[in-house]
Amino acid sequence: MNILEKTDFKNLGEKYVGKVRDVYSQKDKVVLISTDRYSAFDRNLALIPCKGQVLTQVSRFWFENTKDIVKNHVIDYPDPNVIVGKKCKVLPVEVVPRAYITGVTGTSLWTLYQKGERNFGDFVLPNGMRKNQKLDKVVLTPTTKREEHDRPLSTKEIIEGGFMTKEQWEKVKDVSLKLFKRGQEIALQKGLILVDCKYEFGLDENDEVILVDEIHTPDSSRYWQAKTYEGRIKKGMEPENFDKEFLRLWFKENCDPYKDKVMPKAPVEMIEELSRRYIQIFEQITGTAFKVETGDIEKRIKNNLKKYQI
């Protein structure tokens, strides 16, 4: 199966390489190309067939199903791996709505809660909560963006720190809750629980708040299977989820991913399984069959982006 590791287009604008996307910046637009890179530990670990295509097409599904709530940056979908977006001033805060107390990272609600934290700035959680329990209401946990390590922010810190004006933050907050509510409703129709996710926003040429980057993809959101959630929680089990963690754990067990210069190659069967899971979550979310694009992906993208050459 063909894969897309990277792109190198000379005439699409200034290039920025992210963890997963190659971004080409032009005067009034950006070309976002999703590759098949799989990242963790601040480095690329493997290439997962179809991953980039899934991320782009899932974002497309959600952008189209939420554009009545807030404008988004999308200008065009010229290729299965590509979004052409409006260039805007990106706001320096990631907004993370959460409906459940869960997670394993240092900034996750459950990790902080286990350490004794109850006051999270804009909300307070009661004692006696259990992992993966539903919260009484959806909470927003904003964090800094583009700092070396994301750190939590409260409303007070966002406004006093100059990250956003009070009016901008009120708008972003309102839109985030509405987007998440829509996401939860549609996900549930597909048999999924949208547990948490992240949103990024920007200001367009009129200083209007718009949604940018991606939305409700399996990389930026946590999904659980709805039909098994209650039963598994009652048995003290973890919810049935879209799990890409198994490959990250394999690397952790087989090397030191922070220090080793050369990484071992991930087992082929694990690569194939993760690709299958990405395709499965695409099909469950969108309700459509996934079309595997064959042939030279980079050549196809180059051809589809001819009109955006500068």
Strand arrangement, sheet containing 209-212 = 89-90, 200-203, 209-212
How sure is the predictor about 1, in pLDDT bands with cuts at 50, 70 and 90?
low
pLDDT, residue 149, reads 72
Looking at 212, 234, 256, which one is the last position of a domain? Answer: 234
pLDDT, residue 133, reads 97
Rounded Cα distance between 207 and 201, Å, is 11
In a domain, 261, yes or no: no
Is there a contact between 118 and 127 (Cβ–Cβ < 8 Å)?
yes
Question: Is residue 74 scored above 90 in pLDDT?
Answer: yes
Taking only the tens place, the pLDDT of each residue in 100-116 is: 999 887 778 999 999 99
Rounded Cα distance between 122 and 152, Å, is 11
Percent of the chain with pLDDT over 70: 99
**Domain count along the chain:** 2
Question: 126 is in which domain, residue-wise?
Answer: 90-234
Question: Is residue 73 scored above 80 in pLDDT?
Answer: yes
Rounded Cα distance between 287 and 309, Å, is 34
Question: Is residue 227 scored above 70 in pLDDT?
Answer: yes
Is there a contact between 273 and 49 (Cβ–Cβ < 8 Å)?
no
Whole-model pTM above 0.85? yes
Looking at 187, 219, 234, which one is the last position of a domain? Answer: 234
Task: Please classify residue 21 by burial: count the beta carbons closer than 10 Å to its beta carbon, then call 0-12 exposed, 13-18 middle and 19+ buried.
Answer: buried
In a domain, 22, yes or no: yes
Do 45 and 75 lie in one domain? The reply is yes
Return the amino acid letter for 257.
P
Task: Please classify residue 206 by burial: count the beta carbons closer than 10 Å to its beta carbon, then call 0-12 exposed, 13-18 middle and 19+ buried.
Answer: exposed
Taking only the tens place, the pLDDT of each residue in 41-68 is: 889 999 999 999 999 999 999 999 999 9
In a domain, 290, yes or no: yes
Q: What is the mean pLDDT of residues 132-149?
A: 90
In a domain, 158, yes or no: yes
Per DSSP (E only), the strands in 171-267 are: 192-197, 200-203, 209-212, 221-225
Nearest to 292 by CA among 282, 284, 302: 282
Nearest to 246 by CA among 228, 221, 272, 226: 272
Tokens 């459950």 appear where? 110
Question: Is residue 296 scored above 90 in pLDDT?
Answer: yes
Do 178 and 122 lie in one domain? The reply is yes
Q: What is the mean pLDDT of residues 61-76?
A: 98
Do 66 and 22 lie in one domain? The reply is yes
In a domain, 1, yes or no: no
pLDDT, residue 231, reads 98
Question: Is residue 243 scored above 90 in pLDDT?
Answer: no
Q: What is the mean pLDDT of residues 153-174?
A: 97
Question: Is residue 147 scored above 80 in pLDDT?
Answer: no
Do 127 and 228 lie in one domain? The reply is yes
Arithmetic mean of pLDDT over the chain: 95
Do 106 and 136 lie in one domain? The reply is yes
Question: 38 or 104, which is more confident?
Answer: 38
In angstroms, the Cα distances linking 191 to 11, 61, 188, 254 are 43, 16, 5, 35
Do 297 and 174 lie in one domain? The reply is no
